[in-house]
Structure formats: C-alpha cells, structure tokens
Amino acid sequence: MNEFISICVELSVGLFALLLLTKVMGRASLSESTPFDFISMIVVGDFVSDAIYDPQTHVFKVIFTILFWGILIYLIDIITLKYHQSRGFFESQPALIINKGQIDREIMKKNRVDMNHLQMLLRDRDIFSLREIEFAILEPNGKISVLRKSEYEQTKRKDLKLANQAVSLPITLISDGTIIEKNLRLIGKTEAWLIDELKRHSVDEPDQIMVAEWRNEDGLFIQRIRS
C-alpha cells in the first residue's frame, strides 16, 4: 500500500513540476517546439519516469532533477538572448528552400527534405502548386513559411465581383527526375505524351526535371534541376 501511495505522490509532484518547467520555458516553446525544446522535454520526461518507478528514488530527487534541468534551459535561453553568435549552436537556422521561384536542391539535401515532404508542407499552408511560390523558408520548427508571387496573392474573387472558375488539384508527374506513372494514368496521359511536352520546353530527359506538375487550368509546369 505504501508503494502505491509513494507512486501517486511522485507522479503528482512530477506533473506539477513539469507544468512549472513549461511555464518557465515560455509560450513560444509550447506553441512551436524547436529541436532543442523537443529534446529538453524528452530528457526531462525520461528523468521523471525513471525516478518515479525506481524504488530507490525519493520524491526530492524528482524535484531536484526537474529543477536543475530547468535552470540549465533557463541559462541557455539567457545566453542565446544576449549572445547572438550562440544561437547557431543551440538553435537550428531558417533555410531558404525556394528562392525567386526556384527550388534549391542543395538546401533540400542539407535539411533532408525530399519533394514529397516539401509538397506536404506546402499543402499544410493551403498551397497546392509550386508555381505560386516566390520564396519559401524552412523554419527551425520544421514548418514552412511562404511568400506567394504577386499574381497568386489571396484575393477573393467575390471581392472583385468576378465569375467563379473551376478549380482542379495539381498532379505531380515528375519528382526528382522520376516519372510517376500512376499520376499520368490518373490524368489520362502517357509517358510518350509527357516526353513530347518536355521537348516543347527544351528538355531532353525527365532526369533533368526537379518537379513537373499538371493542372487542368494552365497545363504543365516544370522546374529544372539547377546545375
């Protein structure tokens, strides 16, 4: 019985101590975790769980563990606020992944982002076509910030009293130089048709293409692999 009471006390203390620690870390860490914040919370959670289920560990060790770790995090926050140069070590840096409409393949490789992942991040921002983007920045929290091209800025058609138009979902036909055959079949096209379309854009081989997508409203959009 005493063992169960001890577990309940340690769990309660651990819970409130972790809540206090998240308050100290600030709202930014709660809303958008950086890799450093993520690692910090995993380490603290692991410390607390080990302390709670180790019969040799007293509740004061739980408090000490969280308190000491919280002090370390607080000190690091102060260092990064006062000394700008230290941020590169403790925090990830934003990466310009699309610059003036061009995808930077080297930046993608450096950040281990492939085309499928990039497109998923863009869809999460309600952007379904790469042709709409002027600049895109991969943030330290893993999300992407986007500046659209001026012609794709979000103005509602009803604001301009324009007639409605049909909207179709862009289909990726080539990704990282590889033809996606199932997507060709989805739009009722063949590989021979795609090769002809590439030749019209002065492209000899699909492996020269970073991404190619099809949309019914405005046809084929391609972006070459930058040499």
pLDDT tens per residue across span 57-100? 666 776 777 777 777 777 777 777 777 666 666 666 789 999 98
pLDDT tens per residue across span 151-188? 887 766 666 676 766 667 889 999 988 999 999 999 99
Range from 24-38, 156-170, 183-197 carrying the lowest mean pLDDT: 24-38
Question: Tokens representing 13?
Answer: 């203390």
Range from 48-62, 101-115, 187-201, 205-219 carrying the lowest mean pLDDT: 48-62
Question: Tokens representing 8?
Answer: 């309940």
On the question of pLDDT at 202 being above 80, the answer is yes
pLDDT tens per residue across span 108-150? 988 888 899 999 999 998 899 999 999 999 987 788 999 988 7
pLDDT of residue 221: 92
On the question of pLDDT at 38 being above 90, the answer is no
Question: Tokens representing 203?
Answer: 């492209």
- Rounded Cα–Cα distance for residues 8 and 204 (Å): 69
Question: Tokens representing 131?
Answer: 């042709």
pTM: predicted TM-score of the whole model, two decimal places: 0.60
Backbone angles phi, psi at 11, to 5 degrees: -65, -45
